[in-house]
Structure 1
């Protein structure tokens, strides 16, 4: 029976899964197949949705859990406009397996890694699950993970952090956010490992971290995409010292190598190139002559432009800062940085340091921030060393 398959010891009727999926309100047609990657077999559901409809994996899995046992729930979901057909008018399953289409998103609430541990864990998961983008609240099993992949993940996590974990832990803590807490609290070994990161030799070819490498490859396929821009809008109150603010931003750029980093290739591999100096001019847009309503509308337009303007990873800067003056006592700072050199965690550090440096420049006092002993590059090389030699 071609519709009956065996995966991880379970006999599964593909037709039963297709019936359950076809009963979901906005799915008009569906085909479920088995795809293999090495020794790993997984169920993939191909879907045709009703026009102008959309859904997420979270929604679909919540529905399927009420209809099917866990082992019959597909790992991946691909949305298509139509299915390829054979000359006989049947669905061409081989063409389906070879196709590249829009995979459903896990959720609309992507949250980037906020700490080195979360970034490390995401790097491991992305590598094992073959997924390009994972948020800290995404569920390992809803991303397509299963017990065999969980074993592989735990082995890599144990080697990376030099801690003891069991496969049960990934079932108990199935998100990056929860698992990172478990890793951090594992006999405090992880915090001790931070001291093992040493300053790397800058004279050699400088590879990317795993997270950077994924983003670099994505940028090669979609060079004009703003999807991986990280941005913040900061409302500033009081009199703004524009000169001090510009100095402030450039002091942070001077402090962090990643903000002076561009990307190239060496022997067909992506590499980091860190420039010694980079000074950016703070672009200032004055809207004080407009009415309050006009100013609000224009500022929203500028926020959208700043957030969606693309970066060229081979050229500096990969940071863009715009100051929009709303009145004599208020302004909005638009901060946009490519995700390859910044994430939600480092963006918070940027804002904290900006506040510290600004106060120092205003009052003419030296900064209380100590020089950084290591940079992101050092972490990237440490990460590669920890995860090499699987």
Structure 2
């Protein structure tokens, strides 16, 4: 805003519309409040005390909010039509919830079949590949980075809700297994991968993917990445892998 004076905004003799008013604006990232009052009704000391109390209460609100979320309300998730009772019934931990929203039609279908055939693996995808010259620490660090970067990878699915909902966790720990499998046969690796796929996922608890990096030679690893199709389609899978490698 200009620092030049624009003069008085109204005649000093203009009657006040209210005997007490508080005006505010945010300028340069800072909230500024001003109090106007009728001198015939209020003493200046009373208004100064009011302003000090208002400042104290606002600072308490700021401190409370900065300490982290202590609760969630329907207004936090405008894409859902939940009431407060419906939200409470989901039994989510408020400090863990970053977002909550409906599923896409494709996701809804996948979720239905995943729950209907609980022991099935139709939508449990698995990538297996032999890799040369990989640095296990840097590779797993890249996976942790993309998990933190992309909300969808930290998603869980509340199939008991009506309608089903997708929630995003603020943090999620990626299960990573790095082991030395030199000397083991291909049939053992196949059996391990089969167990990873058969293990499935708790669809409500992110992340819905696991990573295993098995050393099979001096400079060779076998990667087993197991992920639920609810998180990624083919195009986004390719984009994610490219991001990890970069």
TM-score bracket for the superposition, by shorter chain length: 0.5 to 0.7
After superposition, the Cα gap between the structure-2 partners of 1:295 and 1:252, relative to the gap in structure 1 and judged at 3 Å, is: same
Alignment pair present for 1:225 and 2:120 = yes
After superposition, the Cα gap between the structure-2 partners of 1:266 and 1:223, relative to the gap in structure 1 and judged at 3 Å, is: closer
Alignment pair present for 1:347 and 2:237 = yes
* Deviation digits for residues 265-288 of structure 1 (CA, Å, limit 9, x no counterpart): 576210011011112242122112
| Root-mean-square deviation (Å) | 1.9
Aligned pairs for 1:313-324 (under 5 A) are: 313-324=203-214
Task: Name the structure 2 match of 1:187.
Answer: none
Task: Name the structure 1 match of 2:59.
Answer: none
| TM-score calculated relative to the size of structure 1 | 0.37
Aligned pairs for 1:118-137 (under 5 A) are: none
Say which of 154, 158, 165 aligns to 1:264. Answer: 158
In structure 1, the residue corresponding to 2:142 is in which secondary structure?
helix
* Whole-Å separation in 1 of the counterparts to 2:192 and 2:152: 26
- Of structures 1 and 2, the one scoring higher in RCO (CA 8 A, sep 6+) is 2
Say which of 319, 332, 343 aligns to 2:222. Answer: 332
Aligned pairs for 1:268-283 (under 5 A) are: 268-283=162-177
Task: Name the structure 2 match of 1:250.
Answer: 144
In structure 2, the residue corresponding to 1:269 is in which secondary structure?
coil
Task: Name the structure 2 match of 1:384.
Answer: none
Point out the structure with max Rg over C-alpha: 2
Alignment pair present for 1:241 and 2:135 = yes
Aligned pairs for 1:23-42 (under 5 A) are: none
* Whole-Å separation in 2 of the counterparts to 1:282 and 1:310: 15
Write out the 4+ residue segments of structure 1 that deviate beyond 4 Å after TM superposition. none
Whether the 8 Å CA contact 2:180–2:214 is kept in 1: the answer is yes
After superposition, the Cα gap between the structure-2 partners of 1:276 and 1:333, relative to the gap in structure 1 and judged at 3 Å, is: same
Whether the 8 Å CA contact 2:175–2:209 is kept in 1: the answer is no
In structure 2, the residue corresponding to 1:335 is in which secondary structure?
strand
Aligned pairs for 1:1-390 (under 5 A) are: 203-204=77-78, 205=80, 206-238=101-133, 240-265=134-159, 268-288=162-182, 290=183, 294-356=184-246
The Cα shift of 1:337 comes to: 0.7
After superposition, the Cα gap between the structure-2 partners of 1:211 and 1:285, relative to the gap in structure 1 and judged at 3 Å, is: same
* Deviation digits for residues 302-347 of structure 1 (CA, Å, limit 9, x no counterpart): 2222233211211122011111110111001111110111122222
* Whole-Å separation in 2 of the counterparts to 1:298 and 1:341: 28
In structure 2, the residue corresponding to 1:327 is in which secondary structure?
coil
* Whole-Å separation in 1 of the counterparts to 2:215 and 2:199: 20
The Cα shift of 1:227 comes to: 1.4
The Cα shift of 1:236 comes to: 1.2
After superposition, the Cα gap between the structure-2 partners of 1:304 and 1:265, relative to the gap in structure 1 and judged at 3 Å, is: closer
Structure 1: unaligned runs, 5 residues or longer: 1-200, 357-390
- Count of residues in correspondence between the two structures: 151
After superposition, the Cα gap between the structure-2 partners of 1:265 and 1:222, relative to the gap in structure 1 and judged at 3 Å, is: closer
* Whole-Å separation in 2 of the counterparts to 1:321 and 1:285: 11
* Whole-Å separation in 2 of the counterparts to 1:302 and 1:217: 27
Whether the 8 Å CA contact 1:246–1:281 is kept in 2: the answer is no
